């Protein structure tokens, strides 16, 4: 399973990267895209939208199934990756390059509560 | 991430909801266990069955999935690429999970005449095939199947995997009840491979040159036997091609010969998008025992004109169609899925329909669906589909989206 050590994770298969400007970048893991298969549709949140931790924030759909993407932390959406919405297959090609949205977290410290790579591997292996 | 419709990934046809299990001729049986008790044991512990090609699929890197109680390849990497291969070139599917039944005996024809909703008397020349539903007394669909006319005393019937045991029990009961001189024998010793696509014929002849002379002349929906190979010009993709039934012991060699001829292995996921584009029903999803064939787009397969009596006829005559079965093309962005609600306007009043199968069409690059809609809805109408609390726009179209590689929409 491809789980980069420099990222944080949620049990619900989102990955999170802390950026230097205090925002976080969110995507779905390689394991998640593999479970879903060929992605054909991605619905992203609106810029400026305020999200609670765990709130449904985006939808990714493959040919066979639809899945919600949850906000890993509470915060405000600062940027969305329109390339992923236009060409969802880039998430299949490289799930860690094809991010979905960026958040300005209400409390950056909440990041510490997310899983590290090892924790995600253990969780996803269940 | 949370799965919205996780069941769809393994349900494909809603067959895994049934607990009936066929008999597996491939699993190694300990010498001290009789065949009968071994199969019963397999059913009790709910072990998915394997076709003779199971190991071949795994070696090809297939993602395997439980389909109707069978461990089958979902895809070998990309279901979209497999879909395109079948539309543009050639792909092959292991369909050995489906069961071939031999209905044989002097009364085979009169028995089938009464058993199924289509009229077996349409089969005049040996080799001809007929698609039909098999109904219960209340007119619900027990299964859909294809009957091949081999000779007056021998018909081959191919039924769905997840319904095999139920079908066998139903057929055995009707045989006993009607006292026809006929038997029904499930052919667990056979494997089935579908080779589909515009180049299917030439690739197939490359793999099995000795069958060319006999199979070249086959028109659509016909069959011919060449030695061990039963070759039928039928399929479930909307493309040209063959479905080949052969001894299970020869399946791996034949599969390899097709691979060598450049045929792309394709899984159940591509098979589902291909059949949906072709507007073909999937049992358990588009119809089942609670649905009349007249409400599921199968009226063309039901012969109500002849004086022939068949199971379900009385019920169908007493209950005219309540719905029409049509196609939907999503105009907004999104993907339609089974069981989503469709809101329609007929003569100023709002009616409600339901999507029975929906997907993203790789050929059309937009979402398509099959739906049961209220009577009065017309082709070209705009309707609303409820997707995640939003009402998205769709257009009503004929339930056949793609044929022979070409978009019909």
Interchain contact, A68 vs B1, CB within 8 Å: yes
A contact set with B (CB within 8 A): 12-14, 28, 32, 35, 37-38, 40-41, 43, 56, 59-61, 63-70
pLDDT digits (tens, 9 = 90+) for A95-122: 999 999 999 999 999 999 999 999 999 9
Distance from CA of A20 to the nearest CA of B (A): 25
Distance from CA of A67 to the nearest CA of B (A): 4
Q: Cα–Cα–Cα angle for B134, B51, B166, nearest 5°?
A: 25
Q: Could you say which of B12, B79, B335 has the minimum Cβ distance to residue A37?
A: B79
Residue A125 pLDDT grade (very low, low, confident, very high; cuts 50, 70, 90):
confident
Q: Could you say which of B2, B12, B359 has the minimum Cβ distance to residue A12?
A: B2
Domain chopping of chain A, boundaries: 8-124
Return the structure tokens found at B179. Answer: 């006292």
- What's this model's pTM, rounded to 2 decimal places? 0.89
Residues in chain A closer than 8 A to B273 (CB atoms): 63
pLDDT at A26: 98
Q: Does B75 touch chain A (CB under 8 A)?
A: yes
Residues in chain A closer than 8 A to B8 (CB atoms): 64-65
Residues in chain B closer than 8 A to A44 (CB atoms): none
Interchain contact, B8 vs A60, CB within 8 Å: no
Give the architecture-level CATH label for domain A8-124: Beta Barrel (2.40)
Residues in chain B closer than 8 A to A70 (CB atoms): 1-2
Q: Which residues contact A83 (CB under 8 A, 6 or more apart)?
A: A90, A98
Homologous superfamily of the B322-407 domain (CATH) = Aminomethyltransferase beta-barrel domains (2.40.30.110)
Q: Could you say which of B6, B272, B335 has the minimum Cβ distance to residue A61?
A: B335
- Give the three-state DSSP class for A65: coil
B15: left (phi over 0), alpha (psi -120 to 50) or beta: alpha
Identify any residues that bridge with B244 across adjacent strands, giving them in sequence order. Answer: B193, B231
Beta-carbon contacts below 8 Å between A and B? 70
Q: Which fold has domain B1-280?
A: Gyrase A; domain 2 (3.30.1360)
pLDDT at B389: 87
What are the b/e assignments for B154-171, b being 16+ CB within 10 Å? ebbbbbbbbbbbbbbebb
A 10 A CB-CB count for B311 gives 19
Interchain contact, B79 vs A64, CB within 8 Å: yes
pLDDT at B396: 98
Return the structure tokens found at B213. Answer: 């002379």
pLDDT at B18: 30
Q: Does B362 touch chain A (CB under 8 A)?
A: yes
Identify any residues that bridge with B193 across adjacent strands, giving them in sequence order. Answer: B94, B244
Closest C-alpha to B399, from B349, B356, B335 = B356
Q: Does B386 touch chain A (CB under 8 A)?
A: no
Interchain contact, B337 vs A66, CB within 8 Å: yes
| Positions in chain B short of pLDDT 50 | 5-44
User: Cα(B356)–Cα(B285) distance, rounded to whole angstroms?
Assistant: 6
pLDDT at B46: 67
Domain chopping of chain B, boundaries: 1-280, 322-407
pLDDT digits (tens, 9 = 90+) for A1-41: 899 999 999 999 999 999 999 999 999 999 999 999 999 99
Distance from CA of B136 to the nearest CA of A (A): 31
Find where tokens 């389909």 sit.
B67
């Amino acid at each position: 399973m491809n789980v980069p050590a420099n990222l944080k994770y949620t049990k619900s298969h989102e990955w999170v990267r802390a950026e230097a400007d205090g925002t976080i970048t969110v995507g779905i893991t390689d394991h998640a895209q593999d479970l879903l298969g060929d992605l054909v549709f991605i619905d992203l949140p609106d810029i400026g939208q305020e999200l609670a931790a765990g709130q449904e924030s985006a939808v990714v759909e493959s040919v066979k199934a639809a899945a919600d993407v949850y906000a890993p932390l509470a915060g405000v959406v600062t940027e969305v990756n329109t390339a992923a919405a236009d060409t969802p297959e880039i998430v299949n090609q490289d799930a860690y390059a094809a991010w979905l949205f960026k958040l300005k977290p209400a409390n950056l410290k909440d990041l510490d509560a997310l899983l590290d790579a090892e924790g995600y591997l253990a969780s996803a292996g269940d | 991430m949370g799965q919205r419709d996780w069941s769809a990934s393994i349900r494909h046809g809603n067959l895994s909801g049934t607990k009936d299990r066929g008999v597996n001729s491939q699993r190694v049986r300990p010498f001290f266990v009789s065949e009968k008790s071994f199969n019963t044991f397999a059913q009790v512990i709910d072990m998915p069955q394997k076709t003779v090609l199971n190991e071949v699929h795994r070696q090809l890197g297939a993602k395997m999935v439980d389909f109707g109680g069978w461990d089958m390849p979902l895809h070998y990497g990309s279901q979209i690429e497999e879909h395109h291969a079948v539309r543009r070139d050639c792909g092959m599917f292991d369909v050995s999970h489906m069961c071939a039944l031999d209905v044989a005996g002097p009364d085979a024809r009169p028995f089938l005449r009464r058993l199924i909703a289509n009229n077996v008397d349409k089969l005049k020349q040996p080799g001809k095939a007929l698609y039909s539903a098999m109904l219960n007394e209340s007119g619900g669909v027990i299964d859909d199947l294809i009957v091949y006319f081999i000779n007056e005393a021998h018909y081959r019937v191919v039924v769905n995997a997840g319904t095999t045991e139920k079908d066998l029990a139903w057929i055995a009961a009707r045989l006993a009840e009607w006292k026809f001189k006929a038997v029904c024998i499930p052919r667990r010793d056979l494997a089935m491979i579908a080779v589909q696509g515009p180049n299917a014929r030439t690739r197939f002849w490359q793999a099995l040159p000795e069958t060319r002379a006999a199979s070249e002349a086959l028109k659509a929906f016909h069959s011919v036997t060449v030695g061990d190979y039963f070759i039928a010009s039928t399929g479930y993709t909307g493309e040209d091609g063959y479905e080949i039934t052969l001894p299970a012991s020869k399946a791996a060699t034949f599969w390899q010969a097709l691979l060598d001829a450049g045929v792309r292995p394709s899984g159940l996921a591509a098979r589902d998008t291909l059949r949906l584009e072709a507007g073909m029903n999937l049992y358990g999803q588009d119809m089942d025992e609670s649905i009349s064939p007249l409400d599921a787009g199968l009226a063309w397969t039901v012969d109500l004109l002849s004086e022939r009596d068949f199971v379900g006829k009385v019920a169908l005559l007493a209950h005219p169609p309540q719905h029409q079965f049509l196609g939907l093309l999503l105009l907004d962005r999104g993907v339609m899925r089974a069981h989503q609600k469709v809101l329609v306007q007929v003569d100023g009043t709002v009616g409600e329909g339901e999507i029975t199968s929906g997907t993203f069409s790789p050929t059309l690059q937009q979402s398509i669906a099959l739906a049961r809609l209220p009577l009065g809805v017309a082709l070209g109408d705009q309707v609303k589909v409820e997707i995640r609390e939003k009402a998205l726009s769709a257009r009503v179209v004929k339930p056949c989206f793609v044929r022979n590689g070409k978009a019909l929409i």
